[in-house]
Amino acid sequence: MVNLPIYLDYNSTTPCDPRVVEAMLPYFTQKFGNAASRSHAFGWEGEEAVEVAREQVARLIGAEPKEIVFTSGATEGDNLALKGVFELYASKGNHIITVATEHKAVLDTCEHLERLGGEITRLSVNSQGLIDLQELEAAIRPTTVLIAVMYANNEIGVLQPIKAISEIAHRHGTLFFSDATQAVGKIPVDVGSDGIDLLSLSAHKLYGPKGIGALYVRRRDPRVRLAAQMDGGGHERGMRSGTLNVPAIVGLGKACELCGQEMAAEALRVGSLRNRLETGLLHIPGSTVNGSREHRLPHTTNISFSGVNGEALLAGLGKDVALSSGSACTSASIEPSYVLKALGLDDNLAHSSLRLGLGRWTTTEQVDYAIGRITQTVEKLRELAYK
C-alpha cells in the first residue's frame, strides 16, 4: 500500500535529510555562538563549524574553501553574481549575455540591470532546450563583462554544454557564471574542469534546509571581484555582510557531504525510476517529453499531454500526487511556461505539461502508482472535453 500523497516535485524543494537535521540541532541550543565573535569559546565554536561547512561545500564542486561565500539561497547568489560583476566591471563594459530559459532570479535581475543602463542579450534555445554555441560567440562584444548560463534547467532538466561555453567566454576575456542550483548534488559539478568563474547553489535543492545557499567566486586565473550588495560588517570576505546563519550553514555542509558520498549511486537509482515513469506515461496517446532526452538531469522529466488543461490535470491529481506544471517560483502565474514556449510549444501544449521530479525517497511503488493515477486523470479529462 502506497502512502498518499506521493511527492514528485523534488525540483521545487527537497525534504531535509534527517542526518542533516541531526547535524544542525546542537547549533540552535548548546553551540549557539556568533561565528564573528572572536573573543570567546562560543564564537570560536561557531566559526569552526562554519569553516568545516565551507570545506564540505567546496569539496562537492571542486573549489577551494575560501572561494565559497554563504548566501540566503540561490536567488541571492544570482543577484550578487550579476549585480556584483556589473557594478565592479563597469569600466570594461555593460553587456551581459544570458538565455531566454534561465531562472527568473537571473532574468529578473538582468531586467533590473537594463533599467540601470545595462545591455542584455538573451539567447534563444532550440526545440531540445539547448543554446547554439555559434550564436553565443557571435553575441560577444568588446563590452561583454559576463555570460550567465544555467547548468541545468529547473523545468525540463536540460544540461547546457557548460565546458564549451566557458571556453568561449574565456577565449574572449569574459567571465562565466552558472546558476547550478538544480545540478549540484545530483550530477558531478567541478568548477575547475568546467571552467566556471561564478556558481550559485541552494541547500534546499539537495536535502538541506531552506534559506541558505552559497556563491562560488573564483580566486585565481582569473581572480573574480564583486561589488557587495549587502553592506555592514564585512562578513564573507566583504562580499556578503550579515551575521552568519550557523545552524543552516552546518546543514548545507552536511547535505553537500552526503551528496558527495551518495550522488553516483543515487543518480543511477533515480534515473532508472525516471525512465520507468516516463515509459509508463508515454503510453498515453498524445504525450511527449519536452527538451533533450540525451542531455538532462537523471531525476527530471517534463511531459505534455495534448488536449488536456494543465490546471484541471493538477487539480485532479493534487490530493494524491504532488507535482507542478513548471517552476515553483512562477506557479502563481496562469501564463504558460516561458521555458516551454521558448522550446516552440504553443500555449495549449505548454499549458498541458507536467514537471515530474524524483528524489531520495521516491520508490518504485510510488512511480507505478503515479503512472496509473496520471493516466486515469488524463483519460477522464479527455472524456469530459469531448462530451
pLDDT tens digit sequence for 172-182:
999 999 999 99
Chain mean pLDDT for the chain: 94
pLDDT digits (tens, 9 = 90+) for 257-267: 999 999 999 99
Per-residue pLDDT at 238 = 66
Confidence tier at 387 by pLDDT (50, 70, 90): low
> Distance (Å, rounded) from C-alpha 328 to C-alpha 7?
14
**Dihedral of alpha carbons 111, 117, 118, 122, sign:** positive
Percentage of residues in the chain having pLDDT higher than 70: 97
Condensed to tens digits (0 to 9), the pLDDT of residues 26-79 reads 999 999 998 888 899 888 899 999 999 999 999 999 999 999 999 999 999 999
C-alpha separations of 145 from 36, 179, 198, 233, 251 in Å: 34, 17, 13, 28, 34
Lowest mean pLDDT across 80-94, 189-203, 223-237: 223-237
248 has pLDDT over 90: yes
pLDDT digit string (tens) for 322-375? 998 864 444 445 678 999 999 999 998 999 999 999 999 999 999 999 999 999
Residue 247: what residue type? P
Residue 234 pLDDT > 80: no
78: its cell numbers: 544570482
6-7 and 287-289 strand pairing: unpaired
φ, ψ of residue 10 to 5 degrees: the values are -65, -15
Grid cell for residue 313: 490535470
What pLDDT does residue 311 have?
A: 85
Q: Give bridge partners of residue 121 from the DSSP assignment.
A: 97
The answer on pLDDT for 114 being more than 80 is yes
Q: Which long-range contacts (CB under 8 A, 24 or more apart) does 165-169 make?
A: 165/131, 165/133, 165/136, 166/194, 166/195, 166/196, 166/197, 167/195, 168/133, 168/136, 168/137, 168/140, 169/140, 169/195, 169/197
CA-wise closest residue to 336 among 381, 290, 296, 299: 290
Name the amino acid, one letter, at 65.
P
Report in angstroms the alpha-carbon separations of 311 from 105, 240, 352, 357.
24, 40, 8, 18
In this predicted structure, what is the pLDDT of residue 274?
98
Tell me the C-alpha to C-alpha distance, in Å, between residue 236 and each of 35, 79, 226, 231, 258.
11, 16, 12, 11, 24
Give mean pLDDT, residues 5-14.
Answer: 97
Query: Which of 117, 115, 162, 104 lies closest to 143 in space, CA to CA?
Result: 117
Q: Quick count: other Cβ atoms within 10 Å of Cβ 258?
A: 22
Q: Which domains does the chain have, with CATH numbers?
A: 6-14+262-385 (3.90.1150.10), 18-257 (3.40.640.10)
Residues 362, 273 contacting (CB under 8 angstroms):
yes
Looking at the predicted structure, is the pLDDT value of residue 18 above 90? yes
Total number of residues shown for the chain: 387
Half-sphere exposure of 113 (CA within 13 A, CB side): 29
pLDDT of the residue at 331: 47
Q: How many CB atoms sit inside 10 A of residue 190's CB?
A: 14
Query: Nearest 5°: phi and psi at 222?
Result: -95, 165
Q: In the prediction, which pLDDT does 34 show?
A: 86
Rounded Cα gap, residues 243 and 169, in angstroms: 35
Active site residue 110: no
What's the pTM value of the predicted model, to 2 decimals? 0.95
Taking the C-alpha atoms of residue 136 and residue 114, their distance in angstroms, rounded to an integer, is 19
The one catalytic residue in 110, 256, 259, 329 is 329
